[in-house]
Protein backbone atom coordinates (compact mmCIF):
# COMPACT_ATOMS: atom_id res chain seq x y z
CA UNK A 1 0.00 0.00 0.00
CA UNK A 2 1.46 3.36 -0.91
CA UNK A 3 0.18 4.99 2.31
CA UNK A 4 2.95 4.74 4.91
CA UNK A 5 2.58 5.25 8.65
CA UNK A 6 5.44 7.08 10.37
CA UNK A 7 4.43 6.44 13.97
CA UNK A 8 7.86 5.05 14.92
CA UNK A 9 9.57 8.25 13.78
CA UNK A 10 7.22 10.47 15.78
CA UNK A 11 7.54 8.32 18.89
CA UNK A 12 11.33 8.47 18.67
CA UNK A 13 11.28 12.25 18.16
CA UNK A 14 9.01 12.67 21.19
CA UNK A 15 10.92 10.18 23.36
CA UNK A 16 7.68 8.28 23.89
CA UNK A 17 7.01 4.55 23.95
CA UNK A 18 4.12 2.81 22.23
CA UNK A 19 2.83 1.82 25.67
CA UNK A 20 2.85 5.43 26.84
CA UNK A 21 1.00 6.53 23.69
CA UNK A 22 -1.51 3.74 24.21
CA UNK A 23 -2.36 4.95 27.70
CA UNK A 24 -2.53 8.60 26.60
CA UNK A 25 -4.96 8.01 23.73
CA UNK A 26 -6.94 5.05 25.09
CA UNK A 27 -6.12 2.74 22.19
CA UNK A 28 -4.96 -0.79 22.84
CA UNK A 29 -1.33 -1.62 22.33
CA UNK A 30 -2.38 -4.30 19.83
CA UNK A 31 -4.30 -1.79 17.69
CA UNK A 32 -1.45 0.72 17.79
CA UNK A 33 0.95 -2.04 16.72
CA UNK A 34 -1.29 -2.84 13.75
CA UNK A 35 -1.27 0.81 12.77
CA UNK A 36 2.48 1.18 13.33
CA UNK A 37 3.32 -1.78 11.11
CA UNK A 38 1.11 -0.53 8.28
CA UNK A 39 -1.30 -3.45 8.55
CA UNK A 40 -4.32 -1.30 9.43
CA UNK A 41 -7.00 -1.22 6.74
CA UNK A 42 -8.59 2.00 8.01
CA UNK A 43 -8.14 4.73 10.61
CA UNK A 44 -11.00 6.60 12.20
CA UNK A 45 -10.80 10.37 12.30
CA UNK A 46 -11.32 10.23 16.06
CA UNK A 47 -8.26 7.95 16.35
CA UNK A 48 -6.23 10.22 14.11
CA UNK A 49 -7.33 13.22 16.20
CA UNK A 50 -6.31 11.49 19.45
CA UNK A 51 -2.91 10.51 18.02
CA UNK A 52 -2.24 14.02 16.72
CA UNK A 53 -3.17 15.54 20.08
CA UNK A 54 -0.94 13.14 22.02
CA UNK A 55 1.99 13.53 19.63
CA UNK A 56 1.47 17.25 18.93
CA UNK A 57 1.56 16.68 15.19
CA UNK A 58 -0.46 17.02 12.01
CA UNK A 59 -2.09 14.05 10.21
CA UNK A 60 0.46 14.47 7.41
CA UNK A 61 3.23 13.85 9.93
CA UNK A 62 1.73 10.41 10.66
CA UNK A 63 0.59 9.37 7.20
CA UNK A 64 2.38 9.81 3.90
CA UNK A 65 1.57 8.67 0.39
CA UNK A 66 4.53 7.15 -1.40
CA UNK A 67 4.57 6.19 -5.04
CA UNK A 68 4.78 2.47 -5.54
CA UNK A 69 2.80 -0.62 -6.35
CA UNK A 70 -0.52 -1.03 -4.54
CA UNK A 71 -0.86 -3.53 -1.74
CA UNK A 72 -1.58 -6.94 -3.29
CA UNK A 73 -4.26 -7.53 -0.63
CA UNK A 74 -6.31 -4.52 -1.81
CA UNK A 75 -9.30 -5.45 -3.97
b/e 23-60 (16+ beta carbons within 10 angstroms → b): eebebeeeebeebbeeebeeeeeebeebbbebbeeeee
pLDDT tens figures, 7-66: 999 999 999 999 999 999 999 999 999 999 989 999 999 999 999 999 999 999 999 998
71 belongs to a structural domain? no
CATH number, domain at 42? 1.10.260.40
pTM of the model: 0.85
What pLDDT shows up at residue 24?
Answer: 96
14 belongs to a structural domain? yes
Is the predicted pLDDT of residue 5 greater than 90, yes or no? Answer: yes
Contact criterion met (CB below 8 Å) for 10 and 59: no
Domain residues for 35?
3-65
21 belongs to a structural domain? yes
Number of structural domains found in the chain: 1
72 belongs to a structural domain? no
What pLDDT shows up at residue 2?
Answer: 82
Amino acid sequence: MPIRVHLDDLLAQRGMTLSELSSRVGITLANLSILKTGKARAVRFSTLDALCRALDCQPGDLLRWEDGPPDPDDP
